């Protein structure tokens, strides 16, 4: 598939009978080809246009990007030019920034990279950074940190593939509302203060140069719009990639992170909500919790008869910690094997000598010191499990509330997308076992991976996606969860394994009767 | 009349029930007020918007300018702000640059100034400058010269009225095609080379900052479009000001300078042509010719009986030279008094001792040395008169040709606008006497003054004029004169005083029979 952004065109050379200006000549030909009047030329390109046209003998390769309200011609080269014309998609995460370099003409990914958001040196979360931005020079410092880090990453991405940053003509940036403000150098002060007002929802398409990005000086940057202070462009990018806003079928998309962000809908309507799911789901809950990496436990099985633990680590290295999907697996297996009861409390009779009291709190040894890379017990405490249960209850309640708000039942959902750098690795079976996700047939669950970066990359390949982005933003209804009493009732009911109403989870069959009969 | 470019608006402050972003809040209110969707906000303005809105308690004064395809909000201040919001119109002449500073809200002129185009140090005419631009660094030097001179002039214009250049938010620039290219830093190389191609005809609206103009950094600059290499934005500005493109009545507009540029038309059609009229009409023909100024002869009468000269100088100072309108007066009076014959040759019997031979050429003493500021005879030579006659013949032929091309007779013209810094000062009676302008009733002649600067200023007062500019540009038909044999025949017939066909000039009655009867 050739992208419409790049056009090769042969012009009739000027004559006394046809002496229109160079700019008109090329724009008229492109307008006819593309059947549009909304086409302009970048002013700076005019400076070299006469030379290129004559040197190329009026056979030109053109790069056309979408500007705010029209297409704009940003580059003209000789038609025989085979230089790669690159695009760059940016997932601007609070913690991690991901870049995809792609070939604009085909959409093919050339290279990828990621780095920790350097604003973490100011503060780990949005709140800390917004407070820092209130200080003199604070906003500029936060802005400089991210722009400089992006420029360094762009330089490296290109160098690895013998490209120049000048080859990059189109960029897209998707981040939450605060990250987007800091990236643009806009004051985030009011985002966290009642009534929670961003400076702008739709920054639109800007010149990369204005933002300090060291790419082609005529490059344009699409900024994914946000819906409000708590629903950012990263989610719009995810919705774009999932295509739920384009389909007849009603589907649900869940982005699992510190917040659980949920969108439900189809081509006729879209409803969204976001709620704090807590750090438990990201593996940040336990002392041994960490992001996925070599030696990190990502899967656990517990034999229901012998209660032996089978532990899988990334790259099969000695275990040094556990990631979010591993924690969910662990909790599910502990519950199914009878080592956790329906309240999420350790069952001493089943846990046996794995249970230890540390500082007055019960801890379960997942990996004994002699098998751990750290040479210390890897444990999960009762407090950790309690926290995980609040998080999974929040997630389930959010799903239940948004679905009920449109008169649907969770069982009606035929496609359930799970995205997020961590979310995509969740074992849906385990998430169902602890009552975090509804008890749907497993084939309905579809991991999307990092849907934010995928959506950002998609947006670069054709300007039809710009209309879809606007459409998503304009159609979405945001459901405010925090002011909902029914939510609190549902939340209380969901704070059990898998739920106070086990008929909702017919597939979850704990083995507790068999192995823990002495207790019941 | 209040300009729609400036709007004072009261916004509902945000609340939890109405938490749209600051940018959306103000844009939505303005869109409703102006009944348009094509409204955007300048990105840089976003950086201060949250602060202004809260500080002004949501009562804001807004400046809205037209961008390429929409209006754009470029400034928001407190509604109580009474600071002058200024516009600057620029007539970018090859020889002289004229500036009008005006109040955008009312269109009232605040201040005016003019300076000689500093590119004259490179070369007096377009040709010399285009050749210079071909040298390494040449274009940049020409561009720097005009931009620096404009910045200095802007600084002085503002200082005289206790304004800052930052008060200027909107500019308009009208010049011929080459001057416009040099102002924009675009290569004029092909303008003078067959088939005569400008880089761009419609540069549109640009940011002042991009062009190096030291005004408000978010100011926009309207560049008047050109029709081709030999029909520039200065003429479009003149047509805009004359309103001939808006009226039912067919009118003609003549801009008299080194070139004679003529536009004929009404609200249904417009036809234009330009031809070299020669420097004679600008007073550059004689050794004593100069641009108007103190001590310069601008009017002459010759008593038909006594043949005494009555000379008027600007500011009534001793005469030091003669300007273009003075030369036309002089030629007309010499002809009517019988001192020139119908071929434009001096009549010795009538000229008497005013005639002197210098270097073998007859010269007529207009002011003897003892009465002249220069203490030397001010004279006009036979060569000067011959040159004037070619120029006036060219002008008349252009008028005749363009009128005939649409099936009209010169006598059909009910309104005849004359513009140009010099053209406006021509005495139509004198111009008729020498057969330069057609023999219409004098009340049909309307001097327009500098219609270029007036049109440029008008364009700043409302964006409705931008549509009119596009309309003029798109509707005009350009008549090529140089390739027309009929033109040459007409030109030969017009090289007499007033014409080979005296029935065309019934009002012109030379006194030659009375005073020079000895000759005939």
Listed as ranges, residues in chain A with pLDDT below 70 are: 1-2, 258, 276-287, 421, 482-484, 511-520
Of B21, B186, B197, the CB nearest to A199: B21
Of A69, A184, A189, the CB nearest to B70: A69
pLDDT confidence bin for B513, thresholds 50/70/90: very low
Indicate if A92 and A212 belong to the same structural domain.
yes
* Residue of chain A nearest B43, judged by CA positions: A203
Each residue of B299-326: pLDDT tens digit?
A: 999 998 899 999 999 999 999 998 888 9
> 3-class SS at B313?
strand
B292 inside domain: yes
Indicate if B98 and B32 belong to the same structural domain.
no
A453 inside domain: yes
Of B22, B40, B190, the CB nearest to A68: B40
Of A47, A185, A199, the CB nearest to B186: A47
pLDDT at residue A519, as a whole number: 37
Indicate if A200 and A140 belong to the same structural domain.
yes
Q: Which of A43, A139, A208 best probes binding to B when mutated, by most B CB atoms within 10 angstroms?
A: A43
Indicate if B49 and B177 belong to the same structural domain.
no
Interchain CB contact of A134 with B (< 8 Å): no
End residue of a domain, out of A78, A112, A128: A78
The model's pTM is 0.87
What span, in angstroms and rounded, lies between the C-alpha atoms of B439 and B429? 9
Q: Indicate left, alpha or beta for B476 from its phi (over 0: left) and psi (-120 to 50: alpha).
A: beta
Each residue of B109-157: pLDDT tens digit?
A: 999 999 999 999 999 889 999 999 999 999 999 999 999 999 999 999 9
pLDDT at residue B486, as a whole number: 82
pLDDT at residue B517, as a whole number: 40
Which residue has better confidence, A259 or B380?
A: B380
Of A40, A200, A229, the CB nearest to B23: A200
Indicate if B159 and B14 belong to the same structural domain.
no
Tokens 């309507």 -> residue: A269
Is residue B485's pLDDT more than 90? no
Taking contacts as CB-CB distances below 8 angstroms, the residues of chain B near A218 are none
Which residue has better confidence, A42 or B423?
A: A42
CB B345 within 8 A of CB B382: yes
Of B19, B38, B70, the CB nearest to A195: B19
Indicate if A272 and A296 belong to the same structural domain.
no
Task: For residue A24, give the DSSP letter.
Answer: H
Q: Residue B188 sits in which domain range?
A: 86-230
A518 inside domain: no
Taking contacts as CB-CB distances below 8 angstroms, the residues of chain B near A195 are 14-16, 18-19
Interface of A with B in 462-501 (CB under 8 A): none
CB contact under 8 A, B195 and A43: no
B135: its two tokens: 């040298």
What span, in angstroms and rounded, lies between the C-alpha atoms of B241 and B261? 15
What span, in angstroms and rounded, lies between the C-alpha atoms of A119 and B180? 46
B221: its two tokens: 């600059």
Minimal C-alpha gap between A19 and chain B (Å): 6
How many C-beta neighbours within 10 Å does residue A55 have?
12
pLDDT at residue B233, as a whole number: 96
Task: Summarize the confidence of residues B257-277 as an average pLDDT.
Answer: 86
Taking contacts as CB-CB distances below 8 angstroms, the residues of chain A near B40 are 68-69, 204
Minimal C-alpha gap between A186 and chain B (Å): 5
Each residue of B189-218: pLDDT tens digit?
A: 999 998 889 999 999 999 999 999 999 999
The per-residue DSSP string of A478-492 comes to EPP-TT-HHHHHHHH
Q: Indicate left, alpha or beta for A394 from its phi (over 0: left) and psi (-120 to 50: alpha).
A: alpha
Indicate if A90 and A216 belong to the same structural domain.
yes
Helix-helix angle A177-184:A126-133, to 10 degrees: 30
Task: Summarize the confidence of residues B374-392 as an average pLDDT.
Answer: 92
Minimal C-alpha gap between B133 and chain A (Å): 13
CB contact under 8 A, A199 and B19: no
What span, in angstroms and rounded, lies between the C-alpha atoms of B365 and B316? 20
Burial A194-224 (b: 16+ CB within 10 A, else e): eeebbbbbbbbbbbbbebebbbbebbbbbbb
The 3-state secondary structure of B357-426, one letter per residue: EECCEEEEEEECHHHCCCCCCEEEEHHHHHHHHHHHHHHHHHHHHHHHHCCCCHHHCCEEEEECCCHHHC
What span, in angstroms and rounded, lies between the C-alpha atoms of B504 and B501? 6
pLDDT at residue A514, as a whole number: 46
CB A181 within 8 A of CB A187: yes
What span, in angstroms and rounded, lies between the C-alpha atoms of A91 and A93? 6
Indicate if A424 and A488 belong to the same structural domain.
yes
Minimal C-alpha gap between A197 and chain B (Å): 5
Interface of B with A in 207-236 (CB under 8 A): 210, 228-229
Q: How far apart are the first and last CA of chain A?
A: 64
Interchain CB contact of A205 with B (< 8 Å): no
Task: Summarize the confidence of residues B38-51 as an average pLDDT.
Answer: 92
Nearest-5° Cα angle at B56, B50 to B60 = 85
pLDDT at residue B254, as a whole number: 93
The per-residue DSSP string of B203-259 comes to -EEEEGGGGT--S-TT-EEEEPP-SBTTB-HHHHHHHHHHTTTT-SS-EEEEEESSE
Domain total for chain A?
A: 4
B470 inside domain: no
| Cα dihedral A64, A65, A70, A75 sign | negative
* Residue of chain A nearest B41, judged by CA positions: A203
* Residue of chain B nearest A15, judged by CA positions: B195
CB A22 within 8 A of CB B200: yes
Where are any strands of DSSP class E within A34-167?
Answer: 39-41, 59-66, 71-78, 86-92, 96-103, 109-116
pLDDT at residue B149, as a whole number: 98
End residue of a domain, out of A56, A78, A100: A78
Asked whether the ipTM of the predicted complex exceeds the cut of 0.90, the reply is no
Interchain CB contact of B18 with A (< 8 Å): yes
CB B103 within 8 A of CB B84: yes
CB contact under 8 A, B197 and A15: no
* Residue of chain A nearest B196, judged by CA positions: A19
Interchain CB contact of A140 with B (< 8 Å): no
Q: What is the CATH number of the domain that holds A23?
A: 3.10.20.880
CB contact under 8 A, B199 and A40: no
Taking contacts as CB-CB distances below 8 angstroms, the residues of chain B near A192 are none
CB A72 within 8 A of CB A40: yes
Interchain CB contact of A194 with B (< 8 Å): yes
> 3-class SS at A356?
strand
Taking contacts as CB-CB distances below 8 angstroms, the residues of chain A near B47 are 185-187
B364: its two tokens: 């007529």
What span, in angstroms and rounded, lies between the C-alpha atoms of B73 and B459? 18
CB contact under 8 A, B18 and A202: no
Where are any strands of DSSP class E within A104-187?
Answer: 109-116, 168-175
Indicate if B367 and B501 belong to the same structural domain.
yes
C-alpha of A474 from chain center: 20
CB B265 within 8 A of CB B429: no
pLDDT at residue A287, as a whole number: 67
What span, in angstroms and rounded, lies between the C-alpha atoms of B495 and B389? 6
> 3-class SS at A74?
strand
Interchain CB contact of A139 with B (< 8 Å): no
| Cα dihedral A372, A374, A380, A384 sign | negative
Is residue B378's pLDDT more than 60? yes
Is residue B520's pLDDT more than 60? no
Minimal C-alpha gap between B187 and chain A (Å): 7
Task: Summarize the confidence of residues B333-358 as an average pLDDT.
Answer: 94
B311 inside domain: yes
End residue of a domain, out of B49, B78, B107: B78
Interchain CB contact of B46 with A (< 8 Å): yes
Tokens 């600007």 -> residue: B314
Each residue of B396-418: pLDDT tens digit?
A: 999 999 999 999 999 999 999 99
Name the nearest CA neighbour of A332 among A219, A194, A498. Answer: A498
CB contact under 8 A, B203 and A46: yes
Each residue of A457-511: pLDDT tens digit?
A: 999 998 889 999 999 999 999 887 765 678 888 999 999 999 999 999 999 987 6
CB contact under 8 A, B228 and A204: no
CB A398 within 8 A of CB A262: yes
The percent of residues in chain B predicted with pLDDT above 70, rounded, is 94
What span, in angstroms and rounded, lies between the C-alpha atoms of A416 and A442? 10
Count how many Cα atoms sit within 13 Å of the Cα of residue B397 in the half-sphere of its side chain.
25
What span, in angstroms and rounded, lies between the C-alpha atoms of B80 and A323? 58
Indicate if B14 and B158 belong to the same structural domain.
no
pLDDT at residue B284, as a whole number: 54
Task: For residue A505, give the DSSP letter.
Answer: -
Indicate if B346 and B493 belong to the same structural domain.
yes
What span, in angstroms and rounded, lies between the C-alpha atoms of B496 and B139? 44
Indicate if A364 and A434 belong to the same structural domain.
no
B157 inside domain: yes
B251 inside domain: no
A512 inside domain: no
* Residue of chain A nearest B182, judged by CA positions: A47
Minimal C-alpha gap between B220 and chain A (Å): 13
How do B251-256 and A296-302 pair as beta strands? unpaired
Task: Summarize the confidence of residues B261-282 as an average pLDDT.
Answer: 81
How many CB pairs below 8 Å do chains A and B form together?
Answer: 120
Task: Summarize the confidence of residues B357-368 as an average pLDDT.
Answer: 94
Name the nearest CA neighbour of B391 among B259, B291, B255. Answer: B259
CB contact under 8 A, B197 and A20: yes
């Amino acid at each position: 598939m050739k992208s419409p952004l790049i056009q090769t065109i042969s012009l009739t050379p000027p004559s006394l009978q046809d002496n229109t200006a160079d700019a008109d000549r090329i724009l008229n030909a492109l307008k006819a080809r593309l059947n549009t009047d909304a086409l302009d030329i970048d002013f700076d390109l005019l400076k070299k246009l006469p030379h290129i046209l004559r040197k190329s003998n009026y056979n030109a390769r053109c790069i056309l990007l979408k500007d705010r309200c029209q297409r704009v011609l940003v580059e003209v080269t000789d038609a025989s030019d085979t230089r790669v014309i690159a695009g760059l998609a940016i997932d601007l995460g609070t913690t991690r920034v991901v870049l995809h370099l792609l070939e604009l003409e085909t959409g093919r990914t050339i290279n990828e990279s990621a780095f920790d958001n350097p604003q973490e040196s100011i503060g780990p979360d949005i709140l800390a950074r917004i407070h820092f931005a209130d200080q003199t020079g604070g906003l500029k410092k936060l802005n400089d940190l991210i722009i400089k880090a992006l420029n360094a990453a762009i330089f490296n991405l290109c160098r690895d593939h013998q490209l120049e940053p000048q080859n990059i003509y189109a960029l897209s940036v998707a981040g939450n509302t605060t990250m987007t403000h800091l990236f643009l150098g806009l004051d985030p002060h009011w985002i966290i203060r009642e009534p929670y007002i961003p400076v702008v929802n739709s920054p639109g398409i800007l010149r990369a140069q204005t933002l300090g990005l060291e790419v082609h000086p005529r490059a344009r940057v699409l900024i994914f719009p946000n819906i409000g202070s708590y629903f950012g462009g990263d989610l719009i990018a995810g919705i774009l990639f999932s295509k739920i806003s384009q389909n007849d079928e009603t589907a649900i998309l869940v982005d699992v992170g510190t917040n659980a962000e949920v969108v439900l809908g189809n081509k006729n309507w879209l409803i969204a909500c976001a709620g704090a799911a807590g750090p438990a789901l990201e593996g940040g809950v336990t002392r041994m919790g960490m992001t996925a990496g070599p030696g990190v436990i990502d899967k656990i099985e517990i034999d229901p008869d012998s209660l032996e633990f089978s532990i899988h680590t990334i790259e099969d290295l000695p275990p040094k910690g556990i990631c979010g999907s591993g924690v969910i697996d662990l909790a599910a297996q502990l519950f199914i094997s009878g080592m956790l009861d329906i309240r999420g409390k350790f069952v001493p009779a089943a846990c046996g000598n794995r249970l230890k009291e540390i500082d007055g709190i019960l801890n379960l040894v997942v990996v004994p010191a002699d098998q751990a890379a750290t040479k210390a017990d890897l444990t999960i405490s009762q407090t950790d499990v309690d926290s995980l249960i609040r998080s999974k209850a929040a997630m389930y309640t959010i799903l239940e509330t948004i679905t009920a708000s449109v008169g649907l039942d969770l069982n009606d959902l035929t496609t359930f997308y799970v995205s997020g750098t961590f979310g995509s690795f969740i074992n849906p079976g385990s998430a169902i076992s602890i009552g975090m996700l509804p008890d749907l047939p497993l084939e309905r669950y579809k991991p999307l991976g990092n849907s934010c970066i995928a959506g950002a990359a998609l947006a670069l390949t054709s300007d039809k996606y710009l209309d879809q982005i606007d459409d998503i933003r304009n159609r979405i209804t945001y459901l405010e969860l925090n002011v909902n009493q029914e939510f609190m009732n549902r939340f209380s009911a969901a704070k059990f394994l898998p739920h106070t109403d086990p008929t909702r989870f017919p597939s979850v069959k704990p083995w507790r009767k068999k192995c823990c009969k002495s207790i019941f």
